[in-house]
Amino acid sequence: MKGKLIRPALVALAIVGTLLTVGGIAYATIPDGGGVIHGCYQKNQGTLRVIDTGTTKTCSSSETPLDWNQSGQQGQQGQQGPTGPSDVWSVDGYNAGGKSLAPFNTWVNLATTSLPAGSYSVQAEAEVESITSTLTDYACDLVDSSSNVYQDTRVTSSDWVTIPVQAVVTLTSPDTISLSCFASQPLTEAFNWQLAAIKVGTVH
């Protein structure tokens, strides 16, 4: 009696072991070693079946072979994403009082900021006037510590006038950028100067 009860259990275990082994082989060879899944498309009925090329299976004459990669094909390059936050170095001379541009024909430093190496969009401006309302030539430059000029703006006026200056500046090492102005006549003053340097990633 005991022998008859044991034999069916052993047979069942043997069948399960065989199925697991076969299943393991199928899983290991689909997709194949190159990550490609092979299939056959039945042209008349429209059915699709996956085949295991590791066991030399091929499509029949009524089927069309189809192959695809398990990881998919490389998609097209997406659009450029938005630019992230930028660092700004700013000098605000608004309502800081007046600064004399005398003696005339002498450059006067109105604002300076220290910058690390990199590329910057620099914007600056100053308001100037002749106290005696004399027709005067003015100039404002953006310069580094070596007096290299990145932008020069010139105006002529006998009234109060705003002088804007802007430039793209690339520094290969840490340096300063200054807003420097002069007037061709005495008794002139500058007011409300501003200087802002915005660090940018790439200059095109």
Average pLDDT, integer, range 158-175: 96
Query: Which has more pLDDT, 130 or 68?
Result: 130
Does 152 score more than 90 pLDDT? yes
**DSSP assignment of 3-60, as one string?**
HHHHHHHHHHHHHHHHHHHHHHHHHHHSS-TTSEEEEEEETTT--EEEE-GGGT----
- Listed by start position, the domains of the chain span 34-69, 88-200
Helices (runs of H) and strands (runs of E) counted in the chain: 1, 12
Question: pLDDT-based confidence at 3, cuts 50/70/90?
Answer: very low
Average pLDDT over residues 9-22: 45
Predicted pLDDT of residue 29? 74
Q: What is the dihedral of CA 100, 101, 106, 108, to 10 degrees?
A: 80
Check residue 145 and report its DSSP letter. Answer: T
Q: Give the list of residues 6+ apart from residue 117 with CB closer than 8 angstroms, or none.
A: 171, 172, 173, 174, 175
Confidence band (pLDDT; 50, 70, 90) for 72?
Answer: low
Architecture of the structural domain at 88-200: Sandwich (2.60)
Lowest mean pLDDT among 42-51, 55-64, 193-202: 55-64
* Mean pLDDT value across residues 166-179: 97
Rounded mean pLDDT, 13-27: 45
